[in-house]
Amino acid sequence: MDQTKRDIIDPKRIDVLDGIRALSIIIVMIFHFWQQTWIFPTVKTPFLAFIGLDKIDFTPFAKVGYLFVDMMVLISGFLLFLPVMRQIFMGADMIKWKDYARRRLARIVPSYYFCILLIFFAHCLPSHVYSSTADAVKDLVTHLTFTQTLYVKTYLGTQLNAVLWTVAIEVWFYILFPLFAELIRRRRSDDNKKSVVASVICIFLLAALFYGIARWWRLNVVEAPGAYVAMKINQLPAFMGVYANGMLGAMIYVLLAKHTERSLGLTVTCTVVSLVCIALITGMVKECAALSAQAAQLWQVSERLRLTGVFMLFILSTALAAKWYRFLFSNKLMVFLSGISYNLYIWHQWLAVHIKNVWRIPYWEGSVPPNQLWDHPWMNKYAAIITVAAFAAAILATYLIEKPFANLILGRPMFGKKKKER
């Protein structure tokens, strides 16, 4: 029997991830902007005044918006393991590892290296921000080799771009990923049911290993006495449980795609579950935001599995929800925002800090930034300027750097259009 496109769950293209990724990065951006502007984000809703809700306060999301870095890592792990799961359960072709490396290189390196080299040569050296040549070389080299999170000076004290630590975490998992994938794939041969069972067992054992690494790191490193909590939290071992959730989510999604079709009952149920997940996520964000700054950081690590478990359930249920609901996360605007999201993430925080503290736009005098004096007109102008600057930089870097050089690495015309994958 022929299946219509709307009935099939696509195991390869998950359109709602565009919106989920874009919104996650925007929430992280709001956090960094809140740090600089001190503007508490609220939306006036006078039409809901009859139920006592004349405004919606997004301040908790601003205060701990960094929690959504975990969503970004989760999506990465989910998408990395998805082809492996398609091969195991659906017999799909697996990408060759040299092609995998080329694609990861094309995706990550052009924008990342452009950012580092531009800031280093156009800002850091002319401004003499380093106390010695050795400090300058170490900052540059560790960033170019994705090892900046190993040292306090090159992570917390970097003169380059502080948010790039997440890219370093991702790259090291990219390097290790083929080893994990091969452990699973080697259990699979043809359509032998025993090999599929062996693969599933391997998946769960690997997930258990990831969870174990994350737990050991939390108990023996994060919660051990010592300064610089961020140095202990923002390291690859602390995120292994997040990657485990992404792997298990990929397995569940592929199995659903193989054995299930979209139906009214499924879409209604998943739409409701997705909305419940939003309520749960909001509750956890408020729970974390109510803590002190350091306690909130520790909450992130201790509750990471619970948080990303709900994130994963949100992704799965949204992907299987009603068409009108999925459209909220997969429309043209979300596709566009997702397309520029990597560079939006890279540039937004650095620009916000330098526009205020170095270039002083809008202009201000003295030693105390106007936001600390609660100069609301200045704060609003500054918020508008850094928002426009962040999106402008993201668009320019995406279309003039990321896409052309990615095409070059992949052997395509630099300014040619990418062919849609089938």
Q: What average pLDDT does the segment 138-155 reach? A: 96
Residue 231 pLDDT greater than 90, yes or no: no
- The residue with tokens 């769950």 is 9
Nearest to 322 by CA among 277, 275, 267, 273: 267
Nearest to 171 by CA among 229, 101, 114: 101
- Mind listing the pLDDT tens digit for each residue in 266-303? 999 999 999 999 999 999 999 999 999 889 999 999 99
Indicate the helix (H) or strand (E) that contains 56. strand 55-57
Query: Residue 191 — very low, low, confident or very high, per pLDDT cuts 50/70/90?
Result: low
Residue 364 pLDDT greater than 90, yes or no: yes
315/75 Cα distance (integer angstroms)? 9
Query: Residue 153 — very low, low, confident or very high, per pLDDT cuts 50/70/90?
Result: very high
Q: What average pLDDT does the segment 338-367 reach? A: 96
Residue 6 pLDDT greater than 70, yes or no: no
Residue 1 pLDDT greater than 50, yes or no: no
**pLDDT given at position 188:** 57
Query: Phi then psi for 41, rounded to 5 degrees?
Result: -70, 120
**pLDDT given at position 2:** 46
**pLDDT given at position 418:** 54
* Terminal CA-CA length for the chain: 22
**pLDDT given at position 199:** 85
406/422 Cα distance (integer angstroms)? 20
Other CB atoms closer than 10 Å to residue 195's CB: what's the count? 15
- Mind listing the pLDDT tens digit for each residue in 63-92? 999 999 999 999 999 999 999 999 888 887
Query: Residue 416 — very low, low, confident or very high, per pLDDT cuts 50/70/90?
Result: low
- Mind listing the pLDDT tens digit for each residue in 321-342? 999 999 999 999 999 999 999 9
**pLDDT given at position 192:** 64
Indicate the helix (H) or strand (E) that contains 383. helix 376-397
234/223 Cα distance (integer angstroms)? 13
- Mind listing the pLDDT tens digit for each residue in 235-269? 999 999 999 999 999 999 999 999 899 999 999 99
